[in-house]
Structure 1
Amino acid sequence: MNEIADTAPPLNLNGYTSLPPGKLAAIVTFLEMTAPPPPLPERGDGGLTLEHVPAPDTAWYRELFRRVGEEWLWFSRLGMSDAELAAVLGSPAVSVHALRRDGADVGLLELDFRVPGEVELAFFGVAPDLVGSGAGRFMMNRALALAWASGPARVHVHTCTLDHQAAVAFYMRAGFRPYARAIEVADDPRRTGLIARGAGRHAPLIGA
């Protein structure tokens, strides 16, 4: 993903760019680390555990993906067919973990080892009622321990302006450094029916 910063031609993008009806735009920030960082301070486990879910069921995965990410307009996995999603989740180089408390799934971690020498935090999030509780720190410390255990050259993640406003700062506190930005334009998932129309209140639905 370094190619985004290294090979992109210079563009004159100053000023406003209008979007067609039904489109949504976000600024994506790419972050990476090349050595294991010190762990984030924790407040205790609060009854939390991070558990590996081998060969996760697609319906279970979608339900947790939606619970964690709907307010932040996570939609990429919701548009996949069962066969497409099962092929990703069934890969031996993709590792899915559930953050659990009192038997309930309250967070999602997906680590992608498919590129040799790299690990991507493909999806990382906790249920909305746990944001700010310390659950993210708990999960991040364990996510990075799992990622670095494979001996990669780097661990990377990306987030965007549709995510929680503190996401970039949280990743930087965890040891990631930003190295590139991009603009992502996509069909608004609330208009296509992938996500509830009332989700993403920080990014109002336009032209409904």
Structure 2
Amino acid sequence: MLPDGYSDVPAGKLATVVTCLDMPAPPALRADPAPQPGVRLERVAAPETGWYRDLYRRIGAEWLWASRLTMADAALEAVLHHPDVEVHAVMKDGRAEGLLELDFREEGVCGLAFFGLTPAAIGNGTGRWLMNRAVERVWFGQDRAPVRRFWVHTCTLDHPQALGFYIRSGFSPVKRQVEIFDDPRLTGALPRDTAPRVPIL
């Protein structure tokens, strides 16, 4: 347990407050926004690691996502090609511009492993539309065993609207944690000029 007051973070590290959220039952779906021309959701079976990392980076670099950039190809493939992990891409005009990754590897549970959009798909309701598709797939997918819990984590390095978005979508905060990790701009996983709002120390 961290003591009350300030705790120093070592140089070269980042610290973020993580909020853990649960959805123990299907919520009422929020109304879908008006359909966006050229946008569809496509399941990607056994995604190639280069394709996946490109999309992951275009979505998450600004928020300092790096965990999937540093995994060895074999380790990443073991996750992405697992029969109980689903990767879905938001396709806009033929290019992947969003990621929905659902992890069903724990019996009766689904983790929203990664959820996000590139700048090209933000700001027009596509996020709400994508979350509705996620909720439908998790709770009402006919080809999977029923789940009893749907969970997601977000943190203070994520988009500032992420936590509120998840709560409005039917998730409830259940736990708070502090995560300390190597700054990916210093390890080479991301360029040093990424996310200038977060100073490098």
Aligning the two structures, in what range does the TM-score lie when normalised by the shorter sequence?
over 0.9
The equivalences for 1:83-122 within 5 A come to: 83-122=74-113
User: In structure 2, how many angstroms separate the alpha carbons of the residues matched to 1:158 and 1:120?
Assistant: 9
1:196 is matched with which residue?
Answer: 191
1:54 is matched with which residue?
Answer: 45
Matched, 1:165 2:160: yes
Shift of 1:12: 5.2
Matched, 1:38 2:33: no
Shift of 1:169: 0.2
Unaligned residue ranges in structure 1 (runs of 5+):
1-10
User: In structure 1, how many angstroms separate the alpha carbons of the residues matched to 2:2 and 2:60?
Assistant: 33
User: In structure 1, how many angstroms separate the alpha carbons of the residues matched to 2:3 and 2:193?
Assistant: 31
TM-score, L = length of structure 1: 0.91
Deviations 1:38-85 (A, max 9, x none): 112232220221110000000000000000100000011101011110
Shift of 1:120: 0.5
User: In structure 1, how many angstroms separate the alpha carbons of the residues matched to 2:75 and 2:22?
Assistant: 27
2:174 paired residue among 173, 179, 185 = 179
Unaligned residue ranges in structure 2 (runs of 5+):
none
User: In structure 2, how many angstroms separate the alpha carbons of the residues matched to 1:129 and 1:196?
Assistant: 21
Identity of aligned residues (%): 50
1:141 match: secondary structure? helix
1:3 is matched with which residue?
Answer: none
User: In structure 1, how many angstroms separate the alpha carbons of the residues matched to 2:30 and 2:65?
Assistant: 25
- 1:85 corresponds to which letter in structure 2? L
Shift of 1:87: 0.7
User: In structure 2, how many angstroms separate the alpha carbons of the residues matched to 1:86 and 1:12?
Assistant: 36
1:8 is matched with which residue?
Answer: none
User: In structure 1, how many angstroms separate the alpha carbons of the residues matched to 2:107 and 2:30?
Assistant: 27
Q: After the TM superposition, which segments of 4 or more aligned residues of structure 1 sit over 6 Å from their partners? A: none
- 1:199 corresponds to which letter in structure 2? T
TM-score, L = length of structure 2: 0.94
Q: How many residues align?
A: 196
